Structure 1
Amino acid sequence: MLVITTPTGQIGRQVVDGLLGSEQPIRVIVRDPSRLPPRVRERVEVVQGSHRDLDVVTEAFAGADAVFWVVPPDQRAESVEDHYVDYTRAACQAIGSHGVKRVVAVSTMGSGIEKNAGHLSASVAKDRMIEDTGVSFRALQLPAFMENLLWQVEAIRNQGAFFWPQFGDRVLPSVATRDIAAKAAELLLDDSWGGQSGVPVVSPDALTPDGMAQVVSEVLDRPVRYQQVGMEAYRATAMQHGASEAWAQGLIDMAVAQNAGAYDEQHRTSQPGPTGFRQWCEEVLRPAFLA
């Protein structure tokens, strides 16, 4: 039995899609089963509720061989680390009580991020909790998501620019969520591995935000520039969109760590995934822009 959390989320739904053709039984945890496509509802077993809830994960993990674990964001959280840790606490109890064999979790790449790196540090803390259960574990170590650009489609259309707090001339490693999901599905279906380790998943590119803007310009056939925004402006924008002060500070701390090169060492030594930034722009960003 394979258990998938966030099956309607950006990564989780692609993991489910990657597993549907297998012979493995699949169970999903979902708050609103009506959001599952009919072809998924027909194929999977559904446990309704939040995977933060001990009763829910206890039911869902019964008989599970492997679990795909994602902590969904909550920009209203009053502590970033507490959000990640509290969300994972019940799962760790259920992993132990049910003897789950393997866990694959969405995490982060980076060095020097155990403290004071916002969401990166919180994700590492969550990993340590899972590891402490003794379960065989693979942390998918990820850089920035290419899909983050989809939040800026209107800015690209109306202002000819996208805006982040990262340095424009420093390489910002990125990854397409399709590659994350493919690696997760591969690990979930492979029952031969054990132990605990990280699995970096990264694109074949070494682009700066300025370089990304050049690719976006070429794919969209219109000039698009990158504009770095100051940290305080970034904080204010996040809070205007509903983020708590703690969540906004976590985003800032993460950006500071990225600007300081937190991803650099792992990026240089990681085996790249298949999807390059230009391909992603052609297949994902351009259709979203034209919609």
Structure 2
Amino acid sequence: MIVITAPTSRIGSRLLDTLLNEAPAHGEELRVIVRDPAKLPDAVRARVDVVTGSHDDPEVIDRAFAGADAVFWLAPPDPRAPSLDAAYSGFTRAAAKAFTAHAVGHVVGVSALGRGTPVASRAGHVTASLAMDDLIASTGVAYRALANPTFMDNLLRQVASIRDDGVFTDTVSADRSAPAAAARDIAAAAAGLLLDRSWTGTGEVPVLGPEDLSANDMARIMTDVLRRPVRYERQSLDDFRAQLTGHGFGDALVEGYVDMMRAKDNGLDDGVQRTPQTASPTTFRTWCEKVLEPAVRVQA
């Protein structure tokens, strides 16, 4: 039995689709934890065991982990969390106890790059995510943290600006090259680990994408794929802070995002070498063709 948390998230939904196709051949049953089962397609609900509720709730976790062999763990974003510790380790504490109580063998979690870099202790959400990894690892469960850079899919939040104004923004230097990963590649890495549980111990699995690109590189690729000019505008950290505050994020989470973006501009994602094992296949151009361009077309 594989338990999938956050099955309607970008990564979780892609993982669920993959496992629905591949798990039967491995003799695996699937269970999901979801706050609102109506957000799952009818065809999906018919093929999985659904536990309704939040996966920080001890009672929900106890029901979901009963008989579970493996768990996909994703701490969902919570704009109202009182602290970064509450958003990550605090959200995970009930599950950490339940991994042991229910003898769950393997856990795969969504985390971040940065461990071991000089800025890792001052990287806001990433620092909190790495502490969550340590909490899970301390239970003795076999654990793999998917160590991710910035998601390509984050650009979907700016579809309207890209379409209408030909502009996307971020806070990093325009010419700083860094890795980026597609959500579907992260989901594929998770699926591989969940279906082949021959691994033991704890560790990280970096998902780096196939290339490092700068924001200017991305602008050129988007311009080519979308057949319209797209440019990058660097946003100040002060403006970024004000934007998040305006969207209703609490102070602790806002400062966590600001610290994370400052750390990214200072090399947070540079600490892992790209190898055949750490690279993932989806190029930014392919992602733009398969994901961004259709999203722009739909909203036109």
Relative to the length of structure 1, the TM-score reads: 0.97
Q: What residue is the counterpart of 2:44 in the other structure?
A: 40
Match of 1:125 in 2: 131
Per the TM alignment, residue 156 of structure 1 is displaced from its structure 2 partner at its CA by 1.2
Q: 1:181 to 1:93 in 2, by over 3 A?
A: same
Whether contact under 8 Å (1:173, 1:267) holds in the other structure is: no
Taking the aligned partners of 2:96 and 2:185, their CA distance within structure 1 comes to 26
Q: Distance in 1 between matches of 2:113 and 2:273?
A: 8
AA at the equivalent of 1:3: V
Please tell me the residue identity of whatever aligns with 1:210. Answer: N
Shift of 1:267: 4.5
Identity %: 49
* Superposition map of 1:150-161 within 5 A: 150-161=156-167
TM-superposed deviation, 1:147: 0.6
**Partners in 1 of 2:163 and 2:197 — Cα distance?**
46
1:14 is aligned to 2:14: yes
Tell me how large the CA RMSD over aligned residues is: 1.1
- Give yes or no for the alignment of 1:274 onto 2:281: yes
Counterpart of 1:93?
Answer: 97
> What letter matches 2:174 in structure 1?
G
C-alpha distance after superposition, 1:88-137 (max 9, x if no partner):
00000100101100000000011235422111001001000000000000
Cα shift at 1:155: 1.1
Per mean C-alpha deviation after superposition, the further-off stretch among 277-286 and 18-27 is 18-27
> In the TM superposition, what is the alpha-carbon distance from 1:81 to its structure 2 partner?
2.4
Once residues 100 and 50 of structure 2 are traced to their aligned partners in structure 1, the CA distance between those partners, rounded to angstroms, is 22
For residues 224-267 of structure 1, give each alpha carbon's deviation from its aligned partner in whole angstroms, at most 9, with x where no partner exists.
11011110000001111111121111111001110001111214
**Does 1:283 find its partner at 2:287?**
no
Partner of 2:56: 52
Match of 1:219 among 198, 217, 225: 225
**2:8 is aligned with 1:4:** no
Instruction: Return the alpha-carbon distance in structure 1 between the equivalents of residues 255 and 144 of structure 2.
Output: 28
* Partner Cα distance (1:119, 1:231) in 2: 15
Query: Pairwise mapping of residues 1-291 of structure 1 onto structure 2 (< 5 A)?
Result: 1-21=1-21, 22-23=23-24, 24-110=28-114, 111-268=117-274, 271-291=278-298
Q: 2:256, 2:285 → 1: CA distance?
A: 29
Contact 1:113 1:121 in 2 (8 A): no
Contact 2:120 2:268 in 1 (8 A): no
Q: Deviations over 1:9-34 (max 9, x none)?
A: 11111111111122211111011111
Letter in structure 2 aligned against 1:264:
D
The aligned amino acid for 1:262 is L
| TM norm structure 2 | 0.95
Question: Contact 2:31–2:49 at 8 Å: present in 1 too?
Answer: yes
Would the aligned equivalents of 1:171 and 1:206 in 2 still touch at CA under 8 Å?
yes
Matches of 2:143 and 2:103, distance apart in 1: 13
Matches of 2:85 and 2:285, distance apart in 1: 34
Other structure's SS at 1:256 match: helix
Instruction: Mark the CA change 1:268 to 1:188 in structure 2 (over 3 Å): closer, same or farther.
Output: closer
Task: Evaluate the alpha carbon distance shift between residue 248 and residue 267 of structure 1 in structure 2; reply closer, same or farther with a 3 A threshold.
Answer: farther
Contact 2:119 2:266 in 1 (8 A): no
Q: What stretches of structure 2 of length at least 5 have no aligned partner?
A: none
CA distance in 2, matches of 1:112, 1:70: 25
Structure 1, unmatched stretches of 5+, are: none
Contact (CA 8 Å) 2:241, 2:258: kept in 1 or not?
A: yes
Q: 1:33 to 1:108 in 2, by over 3 A?
A: same
Provide the C-alpha distance between the structure 2 equivalents of 1:100 and 1:271, rounded to a whole number of angstroms.
26
> Which ranges of 4 or more aligned residues in structure 1 deviate by more than 2 Å?
111-114, 267-271
One-letter amino acid matched to 1:282: E
Query: Within 2, Cα distance between the matches of 1:286 and 1:150?
Result: 10
